Structure 1
C-alpha cells in the first residue's frame, strides 16, 4: 500500500466537483462548509477536489478543506479519498469527456468507494421506471423526440405537448406547445433560464422555430400535465430520498415548489418558492390530501429501489412528483445530484439538516462495512455507469 494512504489518520470523504471560476474554484460553498462541520463530528475529514488535480504516482490530490477556526477554505494535499461524494455537474458532452479518464481511474482505484454513480439522462430513467408495474400507472406518456413529425402528430392527437431536454436541470430548455384559436403558442425557458413566449400563425413556422430551439440536443416529448394551484401557478413536489447510516433508503423530506407567475415549471432557479407540502395539498384537495401524500411517499421510496436495480449504486435522489386537478399523482423526474434549497426555505429545518447529514452517515456506513458492493442483478458496473453518464448531458 502507498505510504500516503497508510498514514491517513482519519477517514476521508472527497466531494468531487467540476471547478468554477474564482478562488477557491468550488461551487455550493455553503453546503460544503456544513458538510465539513458534520464530518468533523463524525470523525470524517471532508475536502473538496477536482479529479483533474490528482497526482496518481503519489496517490494524492489537491483539495480544499474549510477551517472553522480560520473562517476560510484552505488548499492543501490530501490522500486519495476513502469515499467519493460526486457533486460534479457537466454542462456539455465535451466537458464530461474531459473528466471521463480520471473518473474511470478513480473508480477503479482499490480503497476508493463512490457513494453512488450519477444517473444517465431522462429518457434512460424513464425506460427504467417503466419496467416497474407499480410505478408505470404514475408515469405520463413519453417518447423520444425524433423530428418535427412527432410534434405535428402529438398536436393532432393531444392538442398540446411538453418538450424537455434529455439532459439538463433547473427547468432550463423546457417548452409547452399548444394549439390556440389563432394558431399555436410556445411557452418555456431557454438554457439561460430566460422565459420565452411566442405565438405562431402556422404549423410550419412553429416547427421551424422549435427546431432551432432544440438544435443540437436530445429531447423528450411528453404529455402535458396541468399541475397548477388555484391561482394558476405551476407547482410540483420535491421528495428527497437518501441512504441513511444503515445503508437503507429513507425519506428525508417533502416540499412543494411553486413556480414564478407565468412559468411552465416550478423550479426555484426560475424564480419559484417552496412551501410545506401537507397544508398546501390540504388547501387544494381537502380530505383527499392525506391519501395523495401517502401515494407521494410510497412513490418516492419506490423510485430509488427500481433505479438502483437497473443502474447500480445510488446515494440519494430528488424525485419530482406532480399532482393534477383530479388528484392523480405523476412521476416527473429523478435526479441523482439533487439540490437542497427547497428544504432550506421551509420553517421546519429538520429535513434541511438531515439532507446534509445523511450523505456522510452513508459514507461512514460504507467505510465501516468495507465489504465489496454486490450490485443488484442486471445492474451496471461502476465503470459502465461512468462511461454512459455522458448520455445525461
Structure 2
C-alpha cells in the first residue's frame, strides 16, 4: 500500500480524481473499510500521490473529512483507501474525555499519530455495531480529543479486551465469530494465553523447547516433591494468572528438612512461611483454593543485581513485512522478599545498560535474548490459533548464562515503559502495530486466501 494525500472538493456527484502516474486500470469503485461505492473517475494532471474525492463520495464512504493522508491500493477495478483499524475493547463509560476510563490514555497515544502514518481508527465494543447498516458507532481521537464517530466495518481488528472474563462472554464470542467468518475481517492478537497451554505448544518446536523450564499441571504432591529434589525450589502459579497474582515460591532446604513458601497475601503483604512437610504447607496456604488450574514450574537460580534476582521483559512485534522483530528489552529487579519481579510486588524496572555495564557482555546477552525471543515468537505463531502480532515475554538468565522462558503474554502490559530511557521503545511498539495493520490490510485485499484458509 502507498501513502497518499486526500483532497476533498465540493462536488455533489461521486467523483474521484487519481494521479496521472497511477499505474493501474481506471478505477470504477472506491472502498474504505467495509464500504464500497461506484464512482466517476478521471486522471489528474498532477503526478504526485494526491487523490481528489468529492465531499459526496467521502461522506458516503464515511471517510472522516479531517483525514488528509491514507494508504491506497488497487485490486482489479476497485481502489481501496485505508487502513481503517478497529480496536475492540470493553469497559466503556459515559465520560466523554475518558470513554474507557484510565485505559483511554493508552488508546489516545495509539491514535494520536494516525494522520502522520496514514491510518484511521475506531475504538468500539460489542454493543456499538449496527449489523443492518454495516456500521460501527465508536470513538476516535484527534486534534480535538475524543469524539464519537460512525464508520463502516474496519479492514482489520486489533483485540484489546482487558480480561479473560470479557473474552469469555457469549455475546462477544458471537460478534467475533461473525466478523471473522461472515465479513472476513482479520482479527489480530485474539485471546489471552493459558500459561500451561503455551508451554505444551512450544514443546512441539525443537529449537524453541530448549528455552522451557520443566513445567507440569498440578496433579499431586509427588510431582512437586520430585521437582524440589531436582531443583531446590519451584513456582506454583495459576495457569490463567496475570501481573504475578497468586504465585507461590516453594523452597526445600535439604540440610534442615524444612519447606519454605514465599508469596504475597490477599492484602498485598509479602510473606515467608516455614513448614515441616509439604502437605502441611498446602493444607495451610491452599486449603480454600482449587488446585486443578495450577501449574508447577522449575525454579531457576537467576542472575542478580545488588543481590536481587533479575529477569527480563521483552516485547516482540510483527513489522511492515509481517516478520517478527524485538521492539523492547527491559530488566526487572525483584523487590526484597518478593517471589516475582513484578512492579506491583515491589519490582523495579532497569535498562540492560544499568544491569550489565560491560559493553561486550551486554552485547552478547542482548544478542542471545533477541535470538531466543524471535525463536519463541515464531514457535508460538506456528503452534497457536489466530493471528498473533505482538507478544510480551518474561525471560530469565541463570547464573550460567542460559536463557529460560517463564511466561508469554498476548496482551503485554506497558509498565516497563515508566523508565525514562524506555519511553522511546513504547513509541516503537505503537508504530510497529500500525505498520503491521497496514500489511495485514494489504494481505486481506490482495491475498485473502492466505489469511482465511
TM-score w.r.t. structure 1 length?
A: 0.84
- Residue-by-residue CA offset, 1:135-186 (whole Å, 9 max, x unaligned): 2222111111123343344334444211121112111111101124373221
The one of 403, 416, 426 aligned to 1:329: 403
Instruction: Name the residue aligned to 2:204.
Output: 131
CA contact (8 A) 1:2 1:58 kept: no
Partner of 2:321: 246
Q: Does 1:366 align with 2:440?
A: yes
> Structure 2: where are the runs of 5+ without partners?
1-30, 37-60, 64-81
Q: How big is the shift at 1:22?
A: 6.4
1:99 corresponds in structure 2 to 172
Structure 2 distance, partners of 1:99, 1:146, is: 33
What is the deviation of 1:96? 4.2
Residues 279 and 17 (structure 1 numbering): CA distance in 2 closer, same or farther, change over 3 Å?
Answer: same
Please report how far the alpha carbon of residue 192 of structure 1 lies from its aligned counterpart in structure 2 after TM superposition: 7.4
Which SS does the other structure have where 2:273 is aligned? strand
- CA RMSD after TM alignment: 2.9
In the alignment, which residue of structure 2 is the partner of 1:58? 133
What SS class does the counterpart of residue 78 from structure 1 fall into? Answer: strand
Matching residue of 1:388: none
Q: Structure 1: 5+ residue runs without aligned partners?
A: 376-380, 383-393
SS in 2 for 1:234: strand
Secondary structure of residue in 2 paired with 1:374: helix
Aligned partners of 1:137 and 1:263: how far apart in 2? 27
Report whether the alignment pairs 1:18 with 2:93.
no
Classify the secondary structure of the residue corresponding to 1:264. Answer: coil
The separation in 2 between residues aligned to 1:3 and 1:275, in whole angstroms, is 41
By how many angstroms is 1:348 displaced? 5.1
SS of residue matched to 2:224: helix
Instruction: Establish whether residue 151 from structure 1 lines up as the match of residue 227 from structure 2.
Output: no
Shift of 1:358: 1.0
Match of 1:90 in 2: 163
Counterpart position of 2:419: 345
CA deviations over 1:114-135 (Å, ceiling 9, x no partner): 1333353111111122222222
- Give aligned pairs, total: 373
Equivalent of 2:388 in 275, 293, 314: 314
Superimposed CA distance per residue, residues 298-323 of structure 1 (whole angstroms, 9 cap, x where no aligned partner): 01111111111112421111122101
Partner Cα separation in structure 2 for residue 51 and residue 289 of structure 1: 46
Q: Secondary structure at the match of 1:254?
A: strand
Partner residue, 2:241: 168
> Are the structure 2 counterparts of residues 339 and 120 from structure 1 closer, same or farther at C-alpha, using a change threshold of 3 Å?
closer
Which structure has greater strand proportion? 2
Q: Tell me if the contact between 1:148 and 1:207 (Cα under 8 Å) persists in the aligned partners.
A: no
Residues 276 and 118 of structure 1, relative CA distance in 2, 3 Å threshold = same
Runs of 4+ in 1 over 6 A off after TM superposition: 1-4
Higher helix share: 1
- Please tell me whether residue 116 in structure 1 is matched to residue 170 in structure 2: no
Which residue is equivalent to 1:389?
none
Are residues 212 and 80 of structure 1, via their aligned partners in 2, closer, same or farther at CA, if it must alter by over 3 Å? farther
C-alpha separation between the residues in 1 aligned to 2:237 and 2:417?
25
Higher relative contact order (CA 8 A, sep 6+): 1
Shift of the 218–359 alpha-carbon distance from structure 1 to 2, 3 Å rule, reads same
Deviates more, 1:34-43 or 1:90-99: 90-99
Task: Verify the 8 A CA contact 2:34 2:152 in the aligned structure 1.
Answer: yes
Of 274, 299, 302, 2:372 maps to 299
Does the Cα contact within 8 Å between 1:170 and 1:269 map onto a contact in 2?
yes
The question of 1:35 aligning with 2:104 is answered: no
CA contact (8 A) 1:237 1:255 kept: yes
- CA spacing shift, 1:39–1:2, aligned 2, 3 Å: closer
Report the counterpart of residue 62 of structure 2 in structure 1: 8
